[in-house]
Structures are given as structure tokens and as C-alpha cells.
Chains A and B, each alone.
Chain A
Amino acid sequence: MGTPMPVIAQFRGDFLYALVLIEDTDTIAEVAEKSAAHSVDRRVARRDQPLRVEYQGRVLDPAKTAAEEGVAPMEEVVVSYAAGERP
């Protein structure tokens, strides 16, 4: 059980910045899923593609945790489908 912390998630193709509660022990893949849950199937069509998380200009490793990648509370994560095609 990690420490809960809110982050600000912007899912490419959606129009809001969502307040998303994650834990610092969540993997980046889990952070991506938690963020996508507020956009995909709601205003963004689901795609059969992996998700990608960007933080302060770099793409994060999906296998590492939020703490390992240095994600801080109330900072912005940008989540998108990994394929190069724009939504």
C-alpha cells in the first residue's frame, strides 16, 4: 500500500485536466490506466493500443513506479495512446 497522491492528468484527445488519485507505488502503466478511466469510453474512443505517459517532457517507463520516476503530487502527467498517430 503506497501513499495516495493526486496528480493532474491530461489525456490527449480529451479536453479537461482531470484530478486523478494515484499511489506512489503505482506503476506508470497503472497511472496511465487510472488516468484513462476518466477519458476513454467517455469522450475519447477506445483504441487497441498501449498507453504512454509523459512527465515534464520525457516519456516514463511503464514498469517503474510513480515514486521511482519522480512523479510529484499535483504535477501534470500527459497520457496518450502510444502510436504516433494523433487522436
Chain B
Amino acid sequence: MPQLKREDWFDLGRRLDWTPKYVSREELFPEFASDGSNLPAAAWEKWDEPYKASYREYVDTQRQKDEGLYGVKTAMGRTRYIEGADPRWRAIIKEHYGVASVAEYFAGLSEAKLARFAPSSAWRSVATLGMLDEIRHGQLQLFFPHSYVKLDEQFDWAHKMYHTNEWGTIAARSLFSDLFLAGTAVDAAIAETFVFETAFTNLQFLGMASDALKAGDVEFSSLLQSIQTDEARHSQQGAAVIEVLLAHDRDHAQYIVDKSVWRTWKVFALLTGMGMDYYMPLEHRVRSFKEFMQELVLDQFSTYMLDSGLSLPWYWDQMLDEVDNFHHSMHLGSWTYRPTLWWDPAAGVSPEERHWLAGKYPNWERTWGRKWDVITENARAGREDLTLPSTLPVTCNMCHLPITVWTDDPGRLRVVRSGGRSYRFCSDPCQWIFEREPEKYEGHLSLIDRFVTGVIQPPDLNGALAYMGITPGVAGKDALDYAWARTT
């Protein structure tokens, strides 16, 4: 029996829209779940993406990918690489597994929403494969570190993190809940696939993958690259959504992009920025975080946005300033608050490392070096107590990260007063996002809100550590036991 050519059957298999008789289209695809712009069905008929994988092709490809990857895992397990790995590299992968593994299930739920509520059948077909991708990523990134738990309790946070109220968890959970889960299918596709997966995952899954190879961690590098091949396919959904939406509701498309770029940037500055510029052993560094940001986001993604018919986000100048500074502030903060982390952060400020930082960031010594001078003196003098936290930092009511400054004369704290209380923000874009949709964000308490309203008991640092789920065996310590401070 002759087989049809692929192009003759493919569209028949994925374009399955029909006219409902027993329910209205509005009931089948309610506005709150599908498309807030409420475009007519005909508008979505034009939706298309370039990969065009069938389910059968998908399964075959994924099986081959998994065979290769699990083979690498088995082979690397025999080398016992992780047991002898540099503690600074172990910090990078512990942070990664904590933030990424269960977050893949947020992404899987989001893709499941698209697979049900996306207003185009071709899109729903692709989203079904995207959902399976994300489940695969979650399973891989739980399975891989699980074999290390017997060596090191901190690896248990690959699964545990999102089930705690650790401060970084509150920030990451807020991001994923907002961008992936709380909006319509259209909003989620733009936030997750157009912004998060197209602009930012490259930083970690390509940039960090190349660092991993330099560090000799073939397993982690292979894992990241295998995941990224899936992302490259299902992230195509977003551009296709932008194309349809721009023709009908440009302002909404631009708003979701602007909000998503800013919120996503904040978390990647911690996830990728600190690891690349401070934890990564100097001899293995490929490029600085800023250089990766410059290439992948500030150049490539900004061009992609403009080519798609969007404008650059209104805060682009502030973004450029943050790329020079924000992750340095998060590193100084998270290293200081290391007992609240599930990894042992490297300070990364030996004289050679500071020379490298000053070369990549010309203002680093002026802005950050003088603070590390005081810390280094304390570490040398055995005054660890002065390098540890003494109170809580105030966190932002949007990104939920500590509010930080890097100028000598910062302006007044950004405050919005509403409903008898105050909300504080780290930046103009965080405040702007809040003010666009206050009803969405007002009920969410920051860590500091929880502290001052008595949710955290006892109201001291130990009470905060217990609230965060941090146990003595997990609480982070300096990765090199201050050896960096003893070198001159």
C-alpha cells in the first residue's frame, strides 16, 4: 500500500479544529484560560511553527536522546567524577539542580495548559510535545543528582527546594507562578517560550554547558545540551503567538514581553551570573556573565524582538546598568547570607579573581572591591562573625530578591502605598509590573512582610532559618574555607 508523502498528511494530523455544537467556543476556550485578547477563531488559524514534528517522530528522537544521555550518566558514574570535583563546581550544580529540577514541572503544567486551552489545534499539538519535554527535563534533573545525595545532603535540595520557604525559593516560585501558571495560554506561551526559553535558558543551557565541559563535567554538560535541543523546538510556539497577536493586540504582546524579560532576568542573574563570575574556577572560565548576556540577550534576543515587530522594553537602559551590577550585588548578598543557601558558595575574590573581575567590569573595584576589602580583612583576622548576617535584608515585593544599591547616592526607596500597607521595590520595572496588575500581586507577602507580621517565629535569624527549611547539615559555608582571603 503506497504511503502518503509527509507533507500530504502532516497538516491533517495536527489541524483538528472543529466547530463545537454542544458547547459554545467561549465555553470550550474561556477567555481567562485561553486568550485575554479574545481574538476570533479565524485569527488563530494562521498560527504555525517551523519544526512540525509528528508524535511518532518525536518519540523516536526522544528515545535516542535518552539512550545517549543515560549512557553518559552510567559511564561518568564509574569515573566518580563528582566525588573529586572542585567544591566551587559542586556549588554551581547544586544551585542549578535546586532551581531547575522541579521548575521543569511548572513548565510542564504550563505546556499542559497550552495543550488544552491554546486557541489553535496546531499549537495544541506542539504544546503536547512540549509538555512531554518538560516532564522529561524534570525527571532527568531529579534522577541525575539523586545518585549524589548519599555523598552530600545538599544535593537533596534538587527535589526539596520548591517545597520550602527559602528566600530564593520564594523568588523563583513567584516568577514561575506568575509567568507560567497564572495567565492565559497566550500569555504563558509568550512568557515561557518566547522570553524565558528563547532569551534566557541559553545562558544556562548553552553558556553554562560550555563551562561544564571546561570543568570536566561531561555528564552535566551533556544533560544541559540534551535539554536545550528540546527547548529549541518547543520554544518556537512563542514567536508564532507573537506573530498572530501583533496583528490584533500589539500592546498586550509588548506588555507580556516587557514584564517577562525583566522578571526572568532577575532570576538568571542569580542562577547563571554568580556561578559564571564567582564560583567557576578561574582557569575554566569561558567568558564573563556579562559577555554571555551581551551576545545571547542584549544582541541576539533584542534583534529577535525587533525582527518580530516588537519594540525593546522601555527599561532597556536600566537593564544595561543591571547587567553590570545586579548579579555582583546578589553574589555579595548570598555569600554573606550563606547559611540560608543549600550550597557552599565560593567567594571568588582572591587577588587573581579580582583582577579578572576588574578586567571584565571596569567599575568592579570601586563598587564592589572596597566592600570585599573589609570582608577579606575580617576573614584574615578570624572574625567570621563579622562576615555573617546580622539582620534580614529588605526584599522586593515583585521579584522577592533583596533590594540592593550600587551607587553612592541612591534615591529614595521605591514604595507604593495601597490598602493600608506599603510595598517596596528594587527597581522601576518591578514597581511598574506591580502597578499594572496590583490585584494580582497585593496578597503575596514578601519574606520581610512575613517577618514583621509574625508569620516567622521566633522573629530572629534562627527563626528565619527554620522557616526557610534550612537544617544544620545543609546550611551553606564558604566553599574554600576562606583560603582566598589568605592569598596575597
Known: A15-B404, A16-B403. A45 touches B394 (CB 8 A): no
Is A38 a contact partner of B409 (Cβ separation < 8 A)?
A: no
A38, B13: Cα distance in complex, Å: 64
Q: Which of A18, A19, A20, A76 contacts B413 (CB 8 A)?
A: A76
Closest residue of B by beta carbon distance from A5: B452
Binding stretch for chain A, among B170-178, B237-245, B352-360, B383-391: B383-391
Kindly identify, within residues 40 to 66 of chain A, every residue whose CB is under 8 Å from any CB belonging to chain B: 41-45, 57
B392 within 8 A of A: yes
A8, B396: Cα distance in complex, Å: 13
Is B390 a contact partner of A38 (Cβ separation < 8 A)?
A: yes
Closest residue of A by beta carbon distance from B449: A74
Binary per-residue interface labels of chain B (266-283) against chain A in the complex, 1 for a CB within 8 Å, 0 otherwise: 000000000000000000
Please name all residues of chain B whose beta carbon is closer than 8 Å to the beta carbon of A45 when the two chains form the complex: 370, 373-374
Is B390 a contact partner of A10 (Cβ separation < 8 A)?
A: no
Please name all residues of chain B whose beta carbon is closer than 8 Å to the beta carbon of A18 when the two chains form the complex: 391-394
Is B413 a contact partner of A17 (Cβ separation < 8 A)?
A: yes
Q: Which of A15, A19, A41, A42 contacts B333 (CB 8 A)?
A: A15
Q: Smallest Cβ distance from A60 to chain B, in angstroms?
A: 15
Known: A15-B329, A17-B394, A18-B393. A42 touches B406 (CB 8 A): no
Known: A17-B394, A41-B386. A76 touches B333 (CB 8 A): no
Is B413 a contact partner of A16 (Cβ separation < 8 A)?
A: no
Q: Which of A17, A20, A43 contacts B403 (CB 8 A)?
A: A17
Closest residue of A by beta carbon distance from B330: A15
Q: Which of A10, A17, A41, A57 has the most CB of B within 10 A?
A: A17
Contact residues of B: prevailing secondary structure: mixed
A14, B333: Cα distance in complex, Å: 11
Binary per-residue interface labels of chain B (381-422) against chain A in the complex, 1 for a CB within 8 Å, 0 otherwise: 000001100111110000000111110111011010000001
Q: Smallest Cβ distance from B476 to chain A, in angstroms?
A: 18
Binary per-residue interface labels of chain A (20-53) against chain B in the complex, 1 for a CB within 8 Å, 0 otherwise: 1100000000000000011001111100000000
Please name all residues of chain B whose beta carbon is closer than 8 Å to the beta carbon of A14 when the two chains form the complex: 371
Is B371 a contact partner of A16 (Cβ separation < 8 A)?
A: no
Known: A15-B329, A74-B422. A42 touches B378 (CB 8 A): yes
Is A16 a contact partner of B374 (Cβ separation < 8 A)?
A: no
Is B393 a contact partner of A19 (Cβ separation < 8 A)?
A: yes
Please name all residues of chain A whose beta carbon is closer than 8 Å to the beta carbon of B386 when the two chains form the complex: 41-42
Q: Which of B375, B391, B408 has the most CB of A within 10 A?
A: B391
Kindly identify, within residues 335 to 352 of chain B, every residue whose CB is under 8 Å from any CB belonging to chain A: 336
Is A13 a contact partner of B408 (Cβ separation < 8 A)?
A: yes
A21, B370: Cα distance in complex, Å: 27
Q: Smallest Cβ distance from A37 to chain B, in angstroms?
A: 7
Please name all residues of chain A whose beta carbon is closer than 8 Å to the beta carbon of B72 when the two chains form the complex: none
B227 within 8 A of A: no
Please name all residues of chain A whose beta carbon is closer than 8 Å to the beta carbon of B391 when the two chains form the complex: 18-21, 38
Q: Smallest Cβ distance from B354 to chain A, in angstroms?
A: 15
Is B413 a contact partner of A44 (Cβ separation < 8 A)?
A: no
Please name all residues of chain B whose beta carbon is closer than 8 Å to the beta carbon of A57 when the two chains form the complex: 412
Is B371 a contact partner of A15 (Cβ separation < 8 A)?
A: yes
Q: Which of A19, A41, A86 contacts B409 (CB 8 A)?
A: A86
Please name all residues of chain A whose beta carbon is closer than 8 Å to the beta carbon of B412 when the two chains form the complex: 57, 76
Closest residue of B by beta carbon distance from A13: B408
Q: Smallest Cβ distance from A83 to chain B, in angstroms?
A: 13
Is A10 a contact partner of B452 (Cβ separation < 8 A)?
A: no
Q: Which of B336, B374, B448 contacts A19 (CB 8 A)?
A: B448
Is A43 a contact partner of B394 (Cβ separation < 8 A)?
A: no
Is A6 a contact partner of B452 (Cβ separation < 8 A)?
A: yes
Please name all residues of chain B whose beta carbon is closer than 8 Å to the beta carbon of A21 when the two chains form the complex: 391
Q: Smallest Cβ distance from B339 to chain A, in angstroms?
A: 15
Please name all residues of chain B whose beta carbon is closer than 8 Å to the beta carbon of A87 when the two chains form the complex: 408
A21, B451: Cα distance in complex, Å: 12
Please name all residues of chain A whose beta carbon is closer than 8 Å to the beta carbon of B413 when the two chains form the complex: 8, 10, 17, 76
Please name all residues of chain A whose beta carbon is closer than 8 Å to the beta carbon of B333 when the two chains form the complex: 15-16
A14, B371: Cα distance in complex, Å: 8
Known: A37-B390, A74-B422, A76-B413. A43 touches B406 (CB 8 A): no
Is B371 a contact partner of A43 (Cβ separation < 8 A)?
A: yes
Q: Smallest Cβ distance from A5 to chain B, in angstroms?
A: 10
Is A43 a contact partner of B451 (Cβ separation < 8 A)?
A: no
A28, B374: Cα distance in complex, Å: 26
Please name all residues of chain A whose beta carbon is closer than 8 Å to the beta carbon of B408 when the two chains form the complex: 12-13, 86-87
Please name all residues of chain B whose beta carbon is closer than 8 Å to the beta carbon of A42 when the two chains form the complex: 374-375, 378, 386-387, 390
A-B contact pairs, 28 of them (CB 8 A): A6-B452, A10-B410, A15-B329, A15-B371, A15-B404, A16-B333, A16-B394, A17-B393, A17-B394, A17-B413, A18-B392, A18-B394, A19-B393, A21-B391, A38-B391, A41-B374, A41-B378, A42-B375, A42-B390, A43-B371, A44-B371, A44-B374, A45-B373, A57-B412, A74-B452, A76-B415, A86-B408, A87-B408
**With A15-B333, A44-B371, A44-B374 already in contact, 5 other A-B pairs whose C-beta atoms are closer than 8 Å:** A8-B413, A17-B413, A19-B391, A38-B390, A86-B408
| B binding-site residues for A, Cβ under 8 Å | 329, 332-333, 336, 370-371, 373-375, 378, 386-387, 390-394, 402-406, 408-410, 412-413, 415, 422, 424, 448, 451-452
**6 residue pairs, one from A and one from B, having the closest CB atoms:** A17-B394, A43-B371, A16-B393, A76-B413, A86-B408, A19-B392
